[in-house]
Amino acid sequence: MTTTIDARSSWPLIVIAAVLVVLFVPFSSTVMGVRYTYTLRTVAIGGALLGAVSGAIGSFAVLRKESLLGDALSHAALPGVAVAFLVAGRELGALLVGAGLTSLLGVAAIRVMTGYTRIKEDAAMGIVLTGWFAAGIMGLTYIQGRPDASQAGLDSFIFGQAASIVRSDVFLLAAVSTVAIVLLITFWKQFKLITFNAEFAGANGFNVTLWSALLSTLVVVAIVMGLQLAGVVLMVGMLIAPGVAARQWTTKLEAMVPLAAIIGAAAGGIGAVLSAVDRNLPTGPMIIVTASAIVAISVLFAPQRGVVWVVLTRWRDARRFAMRTVLRDVYHYVHDHSASVAGVPDSFIAGVRGRPGRRALNRLLARRMLRKTIDADTGTRWNLTETGQRVASEDARNQSLWDMYREAGLRLDLPVIAEQRDRDIRALLPPQAIDALTDLLGDKEGEPRVRY
């Protein structure tokens, strides 16, 4: 059960994220002067709920590389709203069911096009996205042209209209969210399996088509719930952004999904609150911008794979590499020219290693591994200090042992290990093996076989 142990190690992260989100409420009311009116409370809670459930479901879409499918599906929900209005009138439940139906029809159309014709998936998604959307716009404009006034606000499904959300909508949202989350947890194993290895799942008797369809249905459910708040154009952001952000912080699905839910809730809640700062800030777009900001922060600062982290590691590695190389250069130069020389000429290192070599020389000087002598006749020369001598000879010996291991490891029947030359071989092989290699090395110990 290594999985759970690793997953547990990311729980602090999840808890910290949750605490930060909760702390935003007092922060916004004191520092930013936001007043939590009834409308704002409703909208913020609705946004947070929606963000949580769509973040959790969207994580799977992100991992299954179906982000753009989400975009197509949310656009495809629009004609359903129009048709449902024509059939059933202004009834929120009916509108959402209609939206879900056309959205599912969109999935089916994409599957037929890609399965039976030469149209590729990207084109099929583009066709469904624009075609269905145009049908929706046409339907809405048709409805607007009719004399009765009950259609007012129907086009708020395009960009979403947070102010239209009332308490009963939040209850509906909470109920559907609970069902979706329960489904997600109940069929966790199946969803995980088809997400990461659909062939394996199929070969082991899981009905991949069924579970994929259920997952797509959950995505559609999330989209439909978000229509009122974020609208068809922006809903995909609610679906994708939390998953992408969470993915940067963890490599475990068990941690990613809860984290995505928290990030989604944060984006939904904070976006709604921020939009209350100014009358002219629309809620849906603010939520999306907040979610995108969280993604940007994650992409920049996440440990292991964030941009900042990667750049810093790369610098550190380059520095270490240059220092090690230059130390070896000095060591071998002295070795080759016997003790007669007064040290390595500055120009040698600079000529061979260039500017990084010079910088490495100064770093080694600061670490007291090299000594610098400036002489009017011979110019600047570098020598190993005692520490430098010890480190360099240790390294040379280690490299010789590695050479020997590569040459004779199989013949001597030594344990097989990966060649990691920057590590100490004595820590990786048993003492008997080291002894055998040392014997073989004989008096050539410390002599370089491979020049660096």
Partner 1 sequence: MYGIEQLLVELATRLASIEAVNAFFRDPRTTARVVGVLIAIPAGMLGSFLLLRGMALTSDAISHTVLLGIVVAFIIMTRFFRMEPDLSSPWLIIGAAGAGVVTVILTELVQASGLMKQDAALGLAFPFLFALAVIFVARYVENVHMDEDAVMVGEIGVAWANTNSHPIGDYESVVITADDPRAEIVRRCVNCVRDQINPRDPAAEFIEVCSNCGEYSPGEAYRAGFTTVRPVLVYWPKSVTVALVMALVASLFIAIFFKELKITTFDPELARSLGYRPTALNYALMVVVSLVAVGAFDAVGSILVIAFFIIPAATAYLLTNRLSRMVALSAALGSAGAFWGYDLARGRLFGVLPLPGDWDTSISASMVIMMMVLFVVVLLASPRSGLVAVWARRRRQRRTFVDMVLLGHLDHHINRVFSRESLEAHIGWQPEKLAAVLDRLERSGRIEIDAGRINISRRGHTSLAAFRASTT
Does residue number 158 form part of the binding site for partner 1 (CB under 8 A)?
yes
Task: Give 155 or 403: the residue with its C-beta nearer to partner 1.
Answer: 155
Closest CB 241 distance from partner 1, rounded Å: 6
For the beta sheet containing 344-345, the strands, ordered from the edge strand earlier in sequence to the opposite edge, are: 344-345, 379-384, 370-375
Does residue number 356 form part of the binding site for partner 1 (CB under 8 A)?
no
Closest CB 196 distance from partner 1, rounded Å: 14
Closest CB 254 distance from partner 1, rounded Å: 20
Q: Residues 197-236 vs partner 1: string with x where CB under 8 A?
A: ------------------------------------xxxx
What is the Cα–Cα distance from 231 to 99, expressed in whole angstroms?
11
| Mutual angle of helices 78-88 and 92-116, in 10-degree steps | 130
Determine which residue in the list 90, 146, 189, 316 makes contact with partner 1, applying CB under 8 A: 146
- Nearest CA to 136 out of 213, 72, 93 is that of 72
Distance (Å) of CA 278 to CA 72, 275, 315: 31, 6, 44
What is the Cα–Cα distance from 55 to 355, expressed in whole angstroms?
48
Determine which residue in the list 237, 264, 268, 388 makes contact with partner 1, applying CB under 8 A: 237
Distance of CA 365 to the CA centre of its chain: 40
The answer to whether the CB of 265 falls within 8 A of the CB of 93 is no
Determine which residue in the list 51, 81, 85, 155 makes contact with partner 1, applying CB under 8 A: 155
Determine which residue in the list 167, 305, 390, 423 makes contact with partner 1, applying CB under 8 A: 305
Among the listed ranges 11-19, 23-31, 209-217, 284-292, the one in contact with partner 1 (CB under 8 A) is 284-292
Beta-carbon count within 10 A of 209 CB: 11
Cα-only R_g, the chain: 32
Closest CB 247 distance from partner 1, rounded Å: 7
Does residue number 288 form part of the binding site for partner 1 (CB under 8 A)?
yes
Does residue number 71 form part of the binding site for partner 1 (CB under 8 A)?
yes
The answer to whether the CB of 116 falls within 8 A of the CB of 139 is no
Beta-carbon count within 10 A of 66 CB: 23
- Residues in the site for partner 1, rule: CB under 8 A? 62, 65-68, 70-71, 75, 112-113, 116-120, 122-123, 125-127, 129-131, 133-135, 137-142, 145-146, 155, 158-159, 233-237, 239-241, 243-244, 247-248, 278, 280-282, 284-286, 288-289, 292, 295, 299, 305, 307
